[in-house]
Structure 1
Amino acid sequence: MRAYSEVLKVPGLARIIFSQLIARFPAGMMSLGILMHMEHLHGSYSAAGLVLAAFSVGMATAGPFITRLLSRFGTLTVLLVTAAISAGALLLLATQAVPLWVDLLAGIVAGAATPPVTPTVRTLYPRMVPQRLLSPLFSFDAALQEIIWVFGPVLVVSLVALAGTGVTLLVTIAIQFFGAVLFILNLEVRRLRIPPTTRKLGRVLRKPPVLLSVVISAMFIGGFSAVEAGVVGTFGEGALEAGIVLAVSAIGSLVGGFAIGSRGIAPWSVAIRLTVVLAGMVIALPMTEVFGLSIALFIAGLGTAPALAAFSAIIAGTVKFADTPEAYAWIGTGQLLGAAVGSALAGVCIDAVGGVGGVWVGAVMVAIAAAIAAIFRRHQPDLRHGIGDPPDTAPIELPR
């Protein structure tokens, strides 16, 4: 815990962490909000899964392009413009009863214009703390973001039960826009200067640790998206039980992140942490009650934040500063494509066999992720002795 206290003593860092947490809070609400609202409008989890997949594909496709604009137009302009466009497209989803193909297009636009808060803040972190504190900071960030998954799902299902799916989605949109503005108000964010990269788009994927992180995290997040849909399918739209189960899973991730988050990353770390996740999902397969599913997904959650922290640390330790926004964007792209595939497959399986179908999809995807991490462990860096100094620097302009 000493490392975490050192992190929080860095001037301005606690403010940055809080504001980016608010900006990212809708991530814990958006998937369920879109899934429930589209199922309510179109009467099918398959249709709802397609719209959610369109949203994820839009975000995944545009992510690397949007992050490269940060160095060209600056964080202020990019964050404000994307927040406005995304909010407009989401408003169409929330307020208009339109054909499915229109909702699919709106989902793509909303996803593509999602403000790039995560790549921005993870690029900013190495400029604010000593390199020896980066691994604990990434772990702290990954663990703390589980607050999103503790309260987000519960808030969504509670609002759906009280006010309906449309109002719930409107609340989610408002939080996303307000959070983006709050994040932008930080002087450190507005004055972050990212040097233009000399590499072509996608060249950073030639680094084996980056490519592995993209592929593994895609399967991992896809698996959790499938399980999330499976839990909703098990208990039904607006059921508080679904929110409780997902919140307990997030609490497990919070516990896991704080318990082992300060440990260095070894070549075996990702595989071991994903194996913990897989074990919980396998236990969840025969479960249909709140208690059993909660215990199983709590176990799965113990490996979640540590795995996410490992991906961030790997990027920080292997990629030049000018290329880190794009690298983090590719991680996001992989995760979102995985979520799109997981959601779509889960929707079909839920319609066919019920909520357990989504859990099966999730377990298979996480098993593949763990196997890849184990097989290609030699291509993952050994960061047990620290992340090291970044090759390039671009200082933040501080107020005079």
Structure 2
Amino acid sequence: MASTVTEKPSRPGYGQLLRTPRAWTFLLPGLAARQPFGMLTISIVLLVEHTSGSYGSAGIVAAVTGVSTALFAPQGGRLADRYGQSAVLVPGVLLHAVAVGAIAALALGGAPLWALFVAAVPAGASVPQIGPMVRARWASRLEDSPLMATAAAFESVTDEFTFVVGPVLATALCTGLHPAAGLAAEGALSLVGGLLFAAQRSTQPQPSRSRPAGLSPVDGSGAESGPRARVKPASALSVPGVRVLAVAFLGIGVVFGGMQVSLTAFAEEAGRPGVNGVLYGIFAAGNMIAGAICGAVVWKQAPHRRLLTGYGALALMASTLWAVHSVPVFAVVGLVLGLCVAPSLITGYTLVEPLVPATARTEAFTWLTGAVALGQAAAVTASGELADAHGASAGFLVPMGGTVLAFATLFVLRAKLVARPAEGAAARGIGHRSPTAVD
């Protein structure tokens, strides 16, 4: 009698992920092109403060840039899904380079504040959304693969690397070379890296504009019952689960923004202003460590349950920040808080793949990153006002409030995070490809 041997599936680790065919062709230029994401805000603040002498004015210009990014990035993502990433990215990085150059020239020329606001809008609107585009390429190449969770973790670690290295590089350039050097480097990296990334057309997802209607959801044979027609994809925000995830990512952005401002006030109150960078670095290190671990674990729990668990822990830790008054204790609390951020980010990005059709994934990812940017901009303003009026402890109430409200939304609307079979079939019915081996 013949026996059947079941082969145990291999562990979906980083080595297997990075052996995905042609992955390095978009990862390397993508790393260079997304590095400026962590440089733009601090470069604007340092330059405008130097030329105007006002941190308030510098913060407002930076906030205008962040809000513009949050509002316009999803529209760029939708265009990228429809017409292709390269078609959107090339004019985008050209506009971005011109806009940041205009900010630098206006600031150095002593232009009025309103002129800087005018230049800040296109600078923020044209920030190249390389992270969402890389995630969309992973989702396209790893359709229904367990490596998607590993890819989400890998991208989270890459994002944290950007958030840590970018501000340090920008600060060193602005203070050691020239006040506008940070913006110049940001614009140059965005332009060169963005163009190199856009040149990798073979790995970008197929534009929805080129997907004909009438493909069979079973075999993709293209059998038609009527004339072939172009698909007009719906917005990713029409998916209820994406709206719920956007609220969750808004809360994560509140943590980032609230930590940046309130940590500065906390360090000054403690009489150790130089420890601010160390404490934020510990927080970011916790995020990176958790992201690396999440990508190496084979999870048995459903993603939406993992998100609730991780976000609950994040809200709990964020609720303790206001009560900490010791630098060593804050280092420990900040590390644990960082460990809670990455699982929530990674799981949220992982949920996009089953919830959103391939024709709208880049837009979905940009809604999430835009929500982080919007939460960060709002928290910087709110925490700054509270810290100025009532001290650093009051500033830390902003991350607590943002995460608690977001967790309550997640808990109440948790059913929206689970793709229904009928919705999944509809999502994959157009242009669906059968999963292929990546290793």
Shared fold by TM > 0.5?
A: yes
Contact 1:154 1:240 in 2 (8 A): no
Contact 1:45 1:348 in 2 (8 A): no
TM-score by length of 2: 0.78
Alignment of 1:207-222 (within 5 A): 207-222=239-254
Q: Does residue 195 of structure 2 align to residue 181 of structure 1?
A: yes
Question: CA–CA distance in 1 between the matches of 2:53 and 2:391?
Answer: 15
Q: 1:245 to 1:265 in 2, by over 3 A?
A: farther
Partner AA of 1:347 in structure 2: G
Contact 1:252 1:300 in 2 (8 A): yes
Question: CA–CA distance in 1 between the matches of 2:335 and 2:260?
Answer: 13
Which residue in 1 is equivalent to 2:86? 76
CA apart distance, 1:255 = 1.0
CA apart distance, 1:317 = 0.9
Partner AA of 1:76 in structure 2: S
Q: Does residue 263 of structure 2 align to residue 231 of structure 1?
A: yes
CA apart distance, 1:266 = 3.2
Q: 1:354 to 1:44 in 2, by over 3 A?
A: farther
Contact 1:157 1:240 in 2 (8 A): no
Question: CA–CA distance in 2 between the matches of 1:233 and 1:84?
Answer: 37
Question: CA–CA distance in 2 between the matches of 1:368 and 1:43?
Answer: 37
Taking only aligned residues, the RMSD between alpha carbons, in angstroms, comes to 2.9
CA shift digits 1:174-204 (9 cap, x unpaired): 2222321232233434x6421135245x4x3
Secondary structure in structure 2 of the residue aligned to 1:255 = helix
CA apart distance, 1:59 = 1.4
Q: Does residue 141 of structure 2 align to residue 128 of structure 1?
A: yes
Q: Structure 2: which 5+ runs fail to align?
A: 1-10, 210-230, 434-439
Secondary structure in structure 2 of the residue aligned to 1:11 = coil
Q: Structure 1: which 5+ runs fail to align?
A: 396-400
Secondary structure in structure 2 of the residue aligned to 1:198 = coil
TM-score by length of 1: 0.85
Question: CA–CA distance in 2 between the matches of 1:331 and 1:120?
Answer: 12
Q: Does residue 206 of structure 2 align to residue 168 of structure 1?
A: no
Contact 1:223 1:364 in 2 (8 A): no
Partner AA of 2:293 in structure 1: A
CA shift digits 1:208-267 (9 cap, x unpaired): 21110111211221231121122345557xx76433332222211111112233435433
Which residue in 2 is equivalent to 1:96? 106
Q: 1:130 to 1:321 in 2, by over 3 A?
A: closer
Question: CA–CA distance in 1 between the matches of 2:79 and 2:367?
Answer: 14
Q: 1:4 aligns with which of 6, 10, 14?
A: 14
CA apart distance, 1:322 = 0.8
Give the aligned length: 387
Question: CA–CA distance in 2 between the matches of 1:7 and 1:349?
Answer: 44
Q: 1:302 to 1:137 in 2, by over 3 A?
A: same
Q: 1:49 to 1:250 in 2, by over 3 A?
A: same
Q: Does residue 122 of structure 2 align to residue 109 of structure 1?
A: yes
Q: Which has the larger radius of gyration?
A: 2
CA apart distance, 1:109 = 1.0
Partner AA of 1:346 in structure 2: S
CA apart distance, 1:160 = 4.1
Contact 2:106 2:115 in 1 (8 A): no
CA apart distance, 1:391 = 4.3
Which residue in 2 is equivalent to 1:371? 408
Q: Does residue 431 of structure 2 align to residue 393 of structure 1?
A: yes
Contact 2:135 2:155 in 1 (8 A): no
Contact 1:195 1:394 in 2 (8 A): no
Question: CA–CA distance in 1 between the matches of 2:374 and 2:103?
Answer: 21
